A = this chain, B = another copy of it.
Amino acid sequence: VAERGSGIPVVVAGLGDVGRAIARSVLETPELRLVAAADPAPGLAGRKLESILNAPCPDLTVASDLAKAFAAAQGGVLLQATRSSFEAVRPQIEQAVRAGLSVASTCEELAYPWLRHEAQADALDRLCEKSDVAVVGTGVNPGFALDRLPALLSQMTGRVRHIDAVRVVDANARRPALQRKVGAGLSEEAFQAAVERGEVGHVGLAESVALAALGCGLEVDEVDEELEPVIAARDLATAVPVREGAVAGVRHLARGYADGREVVRLELVLVAGAEHPRDEVRLDADPPLRISIPGGVPGDEATAWAVVHAATALPMLRGLVTVLDLPPGR
């Protein structure tokens, strides 16, 4: 397959489930041109990209050397789907920015990096300005269901007194990796140990609190988080089988406060066999507003598209930005 000659040059870093979905989405987007894909994993580096994507694509070999890939995409965009931690993704992002690429990343902490890494975020912002490029962390959660959506809704109301949003995901309907990530099948003791090792739980909910507050015009001076197991009330014939009394998933709560008063409450329920999966936002304001996405926005597939659409908008932006800086349409 010949490379298309026009479009914004794009490098995809990370070829896990989401990275592959991103690469396939890039191939469907006429404004973008896939010029390189990279993943250092032993089973991926050196292989033909086409064999990994199961989709017709340019004749590319999966790279492990990003410097070369970035040189081929100067003035373009890095689409990064690797890690959840800002510190883990920062070296690669800085390398891309220095090479003159903008970056759209699924890194959850990057959705609002000032929350946990203020000085490093400010430094990255300055580096972006210097290189005349933009960096954004985006996706469904964080990046849409619990932050960008309440922000848009708040355009239709007066002062927002309180944001209440919930995302319920049936982990069984998603890839097995997610079911393990929510601790399905573990005993309560094993669950708590896995939480302490950082193997169970979701990154980005506190970032969504900060983003939702910012987008709705609220000032939050404190954010706290709670994580608790959801216990199966009966045996579940899910992809990872869950016995009655074992952990079926996780309930994650993040709250934002202003002067000690709760003003944001975000709840994420990731449970195998969860009933009524949905995204739902309630704004306590005049007028009060409620919005609901029955079934919920599907995480991986929609996250890939969020990243790809961000790539088409980034050339118009500068600095380290958030999804609140992205245009609401295409």
Contacts and interface: CB of A to CB of B under 8 A. Distances in A.
A290 interface: yes
Contacts of A302: 156-157, 287, 289
Nearest to A211: B329
Contact of A148 (B152, B157, B286, B301): B152
Nearest to A151: B329
Contact of A28 (B152, B154, B159, B330): B159
Contacts of A305: 155-158
Interface string A298-310: 1001100110010
A315 to B, nearest CB: 16
A328 B144 contact: no
B306 A156 contact: yes
Q: Which 9 A-B pairs have the closest CB atoms?
A: A215-B329, A151-B329, A217-B330, A156-B302, A324-B329, A152-B328, A328-B328, A287-B298, A287-B301
A187 interface: no
Given A148-B328, A154-B329, A154-B330, A293 B301 contact: no
A93 to B, nearest CB: 22
B215 A330 contact: yes
A18 B214 CA distance: 27
A149 B289 CA distance: 14
A326 B328 contact: yes
A53 interface: no
A297 interface: yes
Given A28-B159, A286-B301, A301-B286, A151 B328 contact: yes
A293 B144 CA distance: 16
13 contacts: A149-B152, A151-B329, A152-B152, A155-B306, A155-B326, A155-B328, A158-B305, A216-B330, A217-B329, A286-B301, A289-B297, A290-B294, A292-B293
